[in-house]
């Protein structure tokens, strides 16, 4: 579908990039963040709707890793046969809104919306995710951690399309976990959340990736805590508050105060690690 | 052009590609079962299936469904859907019905692939649809396909769990709510609202602005209001302008209306409206209220009213008490969060202004709208639509005078539908309260005295603030003997949202204060917490703090019914052994006077039989989901002696049906029920007088023939000519409960009857995260007589859901939480397992012994949960809601002060 009332719905990436090069456009995919941001009954234009580009949806695997297309939905993620390193991302997908949102909301939308409480980000950080940004000028790949600049701010240029998220082969090892803390069971914006991907060999942590969300302007990896785990037998008690220091910058909001977030962050990290300890003993 | 397939038919959609699917389904395809509750994917009311998958239609631009198959509840084309409809009716799973279409579509998605789902699977499938009425329990039961609960009426209707008489439309998507009525081309009315909590304003060149827009038919401001621009539910205190003049006193106060064609008005950027704002200092909390600039010059210290009840010598008694518990508690603004935002349609029927609107108080709407618009009351006709939840906030005017004004000025049908943000800004709230109290007990644990002082933030306008200030001191003792008592409640103005009526009128807040202190006292006295309450509970013959002698009090029965559950729960809590969590058990009670406090509040019921033998019940008690249509019909049926399914109901249209007052104060089952009982009996008398049969005679109405049988004798009744109402036989009866005014010390008989209850909460608290899960609730309520046990249970479960929200998550922060993702209400996953116990100790004043129940059920829930948290952790909370960070802080404080 071409231009209609300032609404573009191309079927190919090239066509989308042409539009982006020529116009200042709002990119629409699942619209689960775009529509809630307005009371208007019609999306404010001009809009580039990328949901018709079939090439952008789904998973591609090669020797360099796995690429998840931009418009892959949370439900797609839940249903996909993926390595257990994606366990955290799959758990996060189940906790985004409820089924209605999971059926429409997309991974790229979650990243481009750049909420500090985006559920997809911490697990993707533990997967060393890279974003692929395409424009008429070519493609660039950057770590997700660099892509997210601040609340509602990303490194995407106006002429760029977030084409997909690449998980390098090196990050496909181990098991992923996700733990979300909210004030109700479903349909809840996180007070805080943690994700972990660990490679445990012979009871010893060989690789550790930990990330925390909603405890700062952007979700963050926890390198000190990761370092404290590597080379040790799996034990949540290895982590204490000092390992998180410097990586948290929480705010007071209607969901919780900053002091609380700081306190529970360590607890959440210990608990998510406890899941690995449990699964090992079981 | 977008093409979709709906119910097997191909449609080409003319709407623009970026338009919300929900709008297009409703407007272009007239699929009105698709409800719009939030336009943000937060409530799920617009859930439909797109290619078999459940989605929020409000979040989908129609371009994205090109070629897709869309399913809504409207089409009755599917065996799964039909089975669900029956199940919803058989379980009482639909109350107001606004969430029902979305719930059912979510369930259809599940049941197609999983015919026998587990409870957990159902909860996950329905998690995206919010319900504010039912507490979800009956919805989950229905989707799981559990055995039907509804029963058929036998010889009697009262006491039988009949299906709702008005249920079919709620489960097949045809029920019409405020936004569903009227012609598609009605003009749209939007309000320009104040962007500040408090601001003076000057209107600019409106004519120039309006003429620069296309499609505008009128721009209306305060100067266009033909009548008195001041309304209020309590006439002597009326203080609220329909459109503000010169000063806006709260964030979101309307100052102007823009009226025009739908497309044009929808597209207007109202922030460009020519008005100059001059922000003024403002207050939003009761703590700031007394020192703030006066909102209303005739109310010093911003005090609207102070309610007071004094009995005995409380200070002396407190001094002499062996044990005294003291404390302070603070509660938040709580939003009603009905899933249906306010909506209505107005049009001129010759010289009569007709307003279709979702409301709880049609006659009050009529009178206040007439006043504002300078019309005689009989020139305003209010036709209530179905109300998609109310809980108190649809007692106040919302769209009524605004669309009325627009219809008068333009002469055309005018519609207004609040957005979620608008609804949350403009509607009333539960009063935030800062309460201080002390309760004393003697050495044996008998309460001897109580002092209570509460400041309640009543917001910008009076609304129901006076009712809260009056009800709180009357009820703050809880249902317990308190011989010496001093209680004051102050309603204080701020620039926060106007606080009004919300299920319980301040009593739920006061109960938190009192029941917290009762746990303190039980501990001080060394008495089991249930036993402590039992020994202080009201019994027949006890005298309340207002000096009223009570008869027929079911408190002991309620507490005794809870006793075995209490013991089990305590044992389970003791035995709980898990790394991060502790379990606790809490208990709290309630009492609540049914009907207006010391004021007349009659209901009138008319029942007629037409010459062709139709039996018509003019049922004026607005059914906002609680079930008045069914309950009142059941009472009328048994009083008259004809089966309930013979009745045809005419609802609370002010031109057709006598006034049954407002749906509030838990008064309809009681007061309208009494009127229905009297009208049924009177019509029966009229009929029997045409015979010489005994009162035991049996009436029959078959195929338009009314006959009476007494033993072997049968007599056909001659229906004759119609009266002016069209009835050959008719009875109309009024009931007004006997009360007396309260004197300066609050002494008198404020209510003719009370309802009683108590609840146990079993909670699990995470000691390091501060999160609370309510595992089980057991609720025992003395309903006098359960007219419809299934509906009564539905009230209990729904009340518990709202009480749980009050306790754990609901905190409306003006200007910050005006949506349903920052303002949280319980989802299906937050609900405990609920056991309801209906105690039936008949009240001599109640219809067939029945008492009200609607508000009682919410009162004990929050204090029981908070007491459970304390039992689990030692954390004594002083502020609700008990958000995780507050619980964790209280746990830490308890550890520090522990001996």
Instruction: Answer yes or no: is pLDDT of A3 > 50.
Output: no
Task: Quickly list DSSP for B352-383.
Answer: EEEEEE--S-HHHHHHHHHHHHT--GGGEEEE
Close Cβ partners of A15 (under 8 Å, ≥ 6 residues apart): none
Q: Please write the tens of the pLDDT for every residue from B151-192.
A: 999 999 999 999 999 999 999 999 999 999 999 999 999 999
Nearest 5°: the CA angle B137, B140, B144 is: 140
pLDDT of residue B77: 76
Of B64-78, B307-321, B797-811, the least confident: B64-78
Nearest residue in B to A51, CA atom:
B64
Strand partners, B543: B549
| Burial of B299 per CB tally in 10 Å (0-12, 13-18, 19+) | middle
Nearest to A254 among B23, B813, B829 (CB): B813
Min Cα separation A269/chain B (Å) = 12
Task: Quickly list DSSP for B140-183.
Answer: HHHHHTPPP------S-STTS-PPPTTHHHHHHT---BTTT-S-
Token output for B331: 């509660």
Of A82-86, B160-164, B199-203, B693-697, the least confident: B693-697
CB atoms within 10 A of CB B27: 15
Element housing B730 (H / E)? strand B729-735
B769 at interface of A, judged by CB pairs closer than 8 A: yes
The mean pLDDT of B515-524, rounded to a whole number, is 98
Instruction: Answer yes or no: is pLDDT of A280 > 60.
Output: no
Token output for B82: 């039909």
Instruction: Answer yes or no: is pLDDT of A75 > 90.
Output: yes
What is the residue-averaged pLDDT of chain A? 95
pLDDT of residue B32: 98
Query: Are the beta carbons of B667 and B852 closer than 8 angstroms?
Result: yes
> Strand, helix or coil at A9?
coil
Confidence bin at A278 (pLDDT 50/70/90)? confident
Q: Which of B1, B17, B40, B421 to mutate to test the interface with A (most CBs of A within 10 A)?
A: B17
> Strand, helix or coil at B239?
coil
Instruction: Answer yes or no: is pLDDT of B232 > 80.
Output: yes
CA B144, CA B444: separation in Å to the nearest integer? 50
CA B152, CA B171: separation in Å to the nearest integer? 19
Q: What is the pTM of this model?
A: 0.98
Min Cα separation A101/chain B (Å) = 7
Q: Which residues of B touch A5 (CB under 8 A)?
A: 16-18
With CB atoms and an 8 Å threshold, state whether A39 touches B125: no
Q: Please write the tens of the pLDDT for every residue from B826-864.
A: 999 999 999 999 999 999 999 999 999 999 999 999 999
B190 at interface of A, judged by CB pairs closer than 8 A: no
Min Cα separation B331/chain A (Å) = 15
Element housing B317 (H / E)? helix B314-320
Q: Which domains, from first to last, does chain A contain?
A: 53-170 (3.30.465.10), 173-281 (3.30.390.50)
Instruction: Answer yes or no: is pLDDT of B282 > 80.
Output: yes
The mean pLDDT of A206-229, rounded to a whole number, is 97
Instruction: Answer yes or no: is pLDDT of A1 > 50.
Output: no
Query: Are the beta carbons of B105 and B72 closer than 8 angstroms?
Result: yes
Nearest to B39 among A35, A191, A268 (CB): A35
Side by side, which strands form the sheet with B53-56? B9-13, B2-6, B69-71, B47-50, B53-56
The mean pLDDT of B322-333, rounded to a whole number, is 98
Confidence bin at A5 (pLDDT 50/70/90)? low
Instruction: Answer yes or no: is pLDDT of B899 > 90.
Output: no
With CB atoms and an 8 Å threshold, state whether A99 touches B106: yes
Token output for B214: 């296309």
Q: Please write the tens of the pLDDT for every residue from A140-195.
A: 999 999 999 999 999 999 999 999 999 999 999 999 999 999 999 999 999 999 99
pLDDT of residue A282: 46
Q: Which residue carries 């018509």 as its tokens?
A: B616
Q: Please write the tens of the pLDDT for every residue from B439-481.
A: 999 999 999 999 999 999 999 999 999 999 999 999 999 999 9
**Helix axis angle, B507-525 to B465-475, nearest 10°:** 20
Task: Quickly list DSSP for B3-50.
Answer: EEEETTEEEEE-S-TTBBHHHHHHHTS--TTS--S-SSSSS-TTEEEE
B815 at interface of A, judged by CB pairs closer than 8 A: no
Side by side, which strands form the sheet with B713-716? B698-702, B705-710, B713-716
pLDDT of residue A279: 67
Q: Would you say the ipTM is above 0.90? A: yes
Backbone angles phi, psi at B472, to 5 degrees: -60, -50
pLDDT of residue B3: 97
Token output for B88: 């919803």
CA B733, CA A182: separation in Å to the nearest integer? 53
Q: What percentage of chain B carries pLDDT values higher than 90?
A: 99
Min Cα separation A263/chain B (Å) = 8
Query: Are the beta carbons of B471 and B507 closer than 8 angstroms?
Result: yes
Confidence bin at A73 (pLDDT 50/70/90)? very high
B774 at interface of A, judged by CB pairs closer than 8 A: no
Q: Which residues of B touch A100 (CB under 8 A)?
A: 41, 44, 47, 54-56, 59, 106, 128
With CB atoms and an 8 Å threshold, state whether B59 touches A30: yes
Residue B411 DSSP code: -
Q: Which of A98, A188, A260, A281 to mutate to test the interface with B (most CBs of B within 10 A)?
A: A98
Residue B300 DSSP code: G
Q: Quick one: how far is CA B806 from the chain centroid? A: 14
Strand partners, B219: B258
| CA separation, residue B232 to residues B288, B371, B465, B498, B649 (Å) | 24, 10, 11, 11, 30
Residue B617 DSSP code: E
CB atoms within 10 A of CB A44: 12
Query: Are the beta carbons of B12 and B6 closer than 8 angstroms?
Result: no
């Amino acid at each position: 579908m071409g231009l209609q009332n300032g609404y573009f719905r191309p079927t190919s990436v090239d066509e989308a990039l042409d539009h982006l090069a020529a116009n200042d456009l709002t990119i629409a995919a699942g619209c689960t963040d775009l529509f809630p941001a307005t009371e208007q009954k019609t999306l404010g234009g001009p809009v580039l709707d990328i949901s018709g580009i079939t090439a952008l949806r789904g998973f591609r695997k090669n020797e360099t890793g796995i690429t998840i297309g931009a418009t892959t939905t949370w439900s797609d993620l839940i249903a996909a046969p993926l390595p257990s390193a994606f366990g955290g991302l799959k758990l996060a997908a189940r906790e985004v809104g409820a089924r209605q949102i999971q059926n429409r909301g997309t991974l790229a939308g979650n990243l481009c919306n750049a909420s500090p409480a985006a559920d997809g980000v911490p697990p993707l950080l533990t997967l060393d995710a890279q974003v692929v940004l395409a424009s008429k000028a070519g493609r660039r790949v950057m770590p997700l951690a660099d892509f997210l600049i601040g609340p509602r701010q990303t490194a995407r240029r106006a002429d760029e399309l977030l084409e997909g998220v690449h998980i390098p082969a090196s990050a496909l090892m181990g098991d992923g976990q996700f733990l979300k803390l909210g004030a109700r069971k479903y349909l809840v914006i996180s007070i805080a959340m943690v994700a972990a991907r660990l490679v445990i060999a012979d009871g010893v942590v060989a690789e550790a990736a930990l990330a925390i969300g909603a405890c700062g302007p952007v979700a963050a990896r926890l390198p000190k805590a990761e370092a404290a785990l590597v080379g040790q037998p799996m034990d949540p008690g290895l982590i204490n508050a000092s390992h998180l220091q410097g990586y948290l910058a929480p705010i007071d909001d209607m969901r919780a105060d900053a002091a609380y977030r700081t306190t529970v962050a360590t607890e959440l990290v210990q608990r998510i690690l406890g899941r690995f300890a449990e699964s090992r003993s079981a | 052009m977008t093409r979709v397939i709906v119910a097997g038919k191909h449609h080409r959609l003319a709407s623009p590609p970026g338009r919300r699917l929900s709008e297009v389904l409703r407007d272009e395809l007239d699929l009105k079962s698709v409800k719009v509750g939030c336009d943000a994917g937060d409530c799920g009311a617009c859930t439909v299936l797109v290619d078999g998958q459940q989605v929020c239609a409000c979040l989908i631009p129609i371009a994205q469904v090109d070629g897709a198959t869309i399913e809504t509840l409207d089409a009755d084309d599917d065996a799964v859907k039909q089975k669900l409809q029956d199940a919803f009716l058989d379980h009482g799973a639909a109350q107001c019905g606004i969430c029902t279409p979305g719930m059912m579509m979510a369930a259809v998605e599940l049941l197609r692939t999983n015919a026998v789902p587990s409870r957990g699977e159902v909860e996950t499938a329905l998690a995206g649809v919010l319900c504010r009425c039912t507490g979800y329990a009956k919805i989950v039961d229905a989707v799981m396909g559990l055995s039907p609960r509804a029963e058929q009426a036998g010889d009697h209707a009262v006491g039988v769990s009949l299906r709702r008489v008005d249920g079919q439309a709620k489960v097949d998507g045809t029920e019409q709510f405020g936004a569903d009525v009227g012609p598609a081309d009605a003009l749209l009315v939007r309000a320009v609202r104040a962007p500040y909590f408090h601001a003076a304003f000057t209107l600019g060149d409106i004519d120039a602005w309006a003429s620069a827009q296309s499609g505008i038919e009128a721009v209306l401001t305060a100067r266009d209001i033909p009548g008195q621009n001041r309304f209020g539910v309590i006439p002597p205190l009326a203080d609220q302008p329909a459109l503000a003049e010169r000063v806006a006193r709260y964030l979101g106060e309307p100052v102007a209306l823009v009226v025009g064609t739908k497309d044009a008005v929808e597209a207007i950027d109202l922030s460009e409206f020519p008005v100059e704002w001059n922000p003024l200092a403002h207050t939003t909390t009761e703590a700031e209220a007394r020192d703030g600039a006066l909102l209303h010059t005739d109310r010093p210290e911003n005090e609207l009213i102070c309610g007071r009840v004094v009995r005995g010598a409380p200070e002396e008694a407190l001094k002499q008490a062996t044990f005294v518990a003291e404390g302070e508690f603070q509660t938040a603004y709580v939003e009603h969060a009905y899933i249906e935002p306010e909506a209505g349609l107005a049009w001129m029927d010759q010289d009569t202004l007709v307003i279709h609107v979702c409301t709880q108080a049609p006659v009050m709407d009529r009178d206040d709208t007439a006043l504002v618009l300078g019309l005689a009351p009989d020139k305003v006709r209010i036709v209530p639509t179905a109300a998609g939840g109310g809980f108190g906030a649809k007692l106040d005017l919302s769209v009524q005078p605004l669309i009325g004004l627009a219809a008068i000025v333009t002469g055309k049908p005018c519609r207004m539908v609040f957005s979620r943000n608008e609804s949350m800004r403009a509607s009333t709230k539960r009063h935030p309260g800062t309460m201080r109290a002390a309760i004393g007990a003697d050495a044996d644990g008998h309460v001897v005295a109580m002092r209570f002082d509460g400041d309640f933030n009543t917001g910008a306008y009076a609304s129901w603030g006076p009712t809260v200030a009056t009800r709180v001191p009357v009820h703050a003792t809880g249902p317990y003997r308190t011989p010496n008592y001093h209680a004051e409640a102050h309603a204080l103005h701020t620039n926060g949202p106007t606080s009004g009526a919300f299920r319980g009128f301040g009593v739920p807040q006061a109960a938190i204060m009192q029941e917290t202190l009762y746990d303190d006292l039980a501990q001080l006295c060394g008495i089991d917490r249930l036993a402590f309450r039992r020994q202080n509970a009201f019994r027949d013959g006890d005298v309340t703090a207002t000096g009223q002698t009570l008869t027929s009090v079911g408190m002991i029965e309620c507490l005794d019914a809870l006793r075995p559950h209490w013991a089990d729960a305590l044992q389970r809590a003791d035995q709980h052994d898990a790394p991060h969590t502790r379990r606790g058990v809490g208990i709290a009670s309630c009492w609540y006077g049914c009907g207006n406090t010391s004021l007349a509040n009659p209901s009138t019921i008319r029942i007629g039989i037409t010459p062709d033998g139709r039996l018509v019940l003019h049922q004026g008690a607005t059914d906002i989901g609680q079930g008045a249509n069914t309950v009142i019909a059941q009472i009328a049926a048994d009083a008259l002696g004809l089966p309930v399914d013979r009745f045809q109901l005419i609802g609370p249209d002010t031109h057709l049906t006598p006034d049954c007052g407002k749906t509030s104060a838990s008064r309809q089952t009681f007061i309208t029920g009494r009127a229905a009982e009297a009208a049924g009996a009177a019509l029966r008398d009229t009929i029997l007088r045409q015979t010489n049969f005994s009162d035991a005679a049996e009436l029959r109405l078959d195929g338009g023939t009314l006959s009476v049988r007494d033993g072997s004798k049968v007599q056909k009744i001659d229906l004759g000519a119609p009266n002016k109402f069209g009835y050959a036989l008719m009875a109309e009866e009024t009931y007004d409960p006997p009360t007396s005014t309260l004197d300066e010390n609050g002494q008198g008989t404020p209510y003719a009857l009370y309802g009683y209850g108590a609840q146990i909460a079993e909670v699990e608290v995470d000691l390091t995260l501060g999160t609370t899960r309510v595992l089980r609730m057991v609720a025992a309520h003395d309903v006098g007589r359960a007219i419809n046990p299934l509906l009564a249970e539905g009230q209990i479960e729904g009340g518990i859901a709202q009480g749980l929200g009050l306790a754990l998550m609901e905190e409306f922060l003006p200007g910050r939480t005006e949506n349903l993702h920052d303002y949280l209400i319980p989802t299906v996953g937050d609900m405990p397992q609920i056991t309801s116990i209906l105690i039936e100790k008949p009240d001599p004043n109640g219809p067939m012994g029945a008492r009200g129940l609607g508000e009682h059920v919410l009162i004990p829930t929050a204090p029981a949960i908070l007491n459970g948290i304390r039992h689990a952790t030692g954390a004594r909370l002083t502020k609700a809601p008990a958000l995780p960070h507050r619980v964790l802080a209280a746990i830490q404080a308890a550890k520090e002060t522990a001996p």
